[in-house]
Structure 1
Amino acid sequence: MPTAARRARGDTPPPRTAGGEAETLRGFLDYLRTSIAAKVEGAPEPQVRTAAVPSGTNLLGLLNHLAHVERATFLGEEVADWQATFRAAPDDGAADVLARYRDAVERANRVLDGCADLGAPLPRPRPGRPAPSVRWALVHLIEETGRHAGHADIIRELIDGATGR
């Protein structure tokens, strides 16, 4: 592990949300979204796109995948090949993938802002397929983002020793 490059980002505690279920779910999702983006910010090239494990997983691929998950879940976009979403394009830099991820999150949040009933289906176009409930979508994105944020924690530490959320 490169000790000269070791940077502790500080460990940010989980959000202390008040209010109801929707506020709590969205608070935790936003917390995880911020955590995964922070793992990619400042990661050096070419390590940000270099596979850290035999499966080929890398930081840019994880964030690229999560941008697709956000758009598929909240905006109804179709994904033909989920495995391909784990790879960023060769000419994409970290700033490009971060910008696309943040755009997907912003667009997803606009959809969520219009959803008052967690039990209602998401208002998204997806011909021939029922939309999941808002609650299911939020819990799914918390699980998916949290799982990949954990992967990113380990990969980032392997790259330059950076730890923390």
Structure 2
Amino acid sequence: MPTASRRKRRDTPPPRTGGSELDTLRGFLDYLRDSIAAKVDGAPEPQVRTAGVPSGTNLLGLVNHLTHVERATFLGDTVTDWQATFQAAPEDGAAEVVARYRDAVARANEVLDGCADPGAPLPRPRPGKPAPSVRWALTHMIEETGRHAGHADILRELIDGATGR
């Protein structure tokens, strides 16, 4: 475990959002999305893609995985091998992986901008498969992103001692 270069990031408190259900859910999801992207900021190669635990989980792989989850949930993309999404391509640097993640988030938010009813199905293309409700999708993404943000916290601290959100 690194000791010489411990960096403490400012801890960002949870968001204060508008009063609606959708504002609250989207506020918390965006808060977690920003936390995930920040965990990669300044992380050195090759440690950013080096497994920190026996399962093979690595920081860059988590961001790559969440990119696929965002795209599948909000844009209707099909993923045939979820396990493979936990690894970034060897030629992709951290900046490219984070840029793809931010693009997926922006595109997901464009979809959500057109959703006023949390009980309505997501307007996404996926023939033959019903879309989940906006409420379910947002709740799922908060859970999924929060779970992996916790993993990213630990992995980043193992890499260089950096902590905080």
TM-score by length of 1: 0.99
Structure-1 residue corresponding to 2:64: 64
**1:148 alignment partner in structure 2:** 148
One-letter amino acid matched to 2:51: A
Question: CA-to-partner distance for each residue in 1:87-126, whole Å, 9 max, x for gaps?
Answer: 0001110001000000000000000000011000000000
**1:98 maps to what in 2?**
98
State the AA in 2 paired with 1:41: D
Deviation by residue 1:2-32 (Cα, 9 ceiling, x = unmatched): 2222111111110011311000000000000
Measure, in 2, the Cα distance between the counterparts of 1:66 and 1:160.
Answer: 22
Provide the aligned C-alpha RMSD in A: 0.6
The letter of the residue matching 2:8 is A
| 1:41-93 deviation line (CA, Å, top 9, x unaligned) | 11000000000000000000000000000000000000010000000001110
Q: 1: distance between equivalents of 2:80 and 2:2? A: 39
Distance in 2, matches of 1:17 and 1:3, equals 37
Alpha-carbon separation, structure 2, partners of 1:18 and 1:129 = 32
- Unmatched 5+ residue regions in structure 2? none
2:115 corresponds in structure 1 to: 115
TM-score normalised to structure 2 length: 0.99
CA distance in 2, matches of 1:92, 1:7: 25
| Whole-angstrom CA distance in 2 between matches of 1:12 and 1:4 | 24
1:2, 1:117 → 2: CA distance?
48
SS at match of 2:43: coil
Helix, strand or coil at the partner of 1:33: helix
Q: Give the letter for the 1:69 counterpart.
A: V
- Paired with 2:10 and 2:2, the residues of 1 have a C-alpha distance of 18
Partner AA of 1:101 in structure 2:
Y
When the two structures are aligned, how many residues end up with a matched partner? 165
Bigger shift: 16-25 or 104-113? 16-25
Deviation at 1:147, TM superposition (A): 0.0
Aligned-residue identity in percent: 84
CA distance in 1, matches of 2:55, 2:17: 36
Corresponding residue for residue 160 of structure 1: 160
Which residues of structure 1 form unaligned runs of 5+?
none
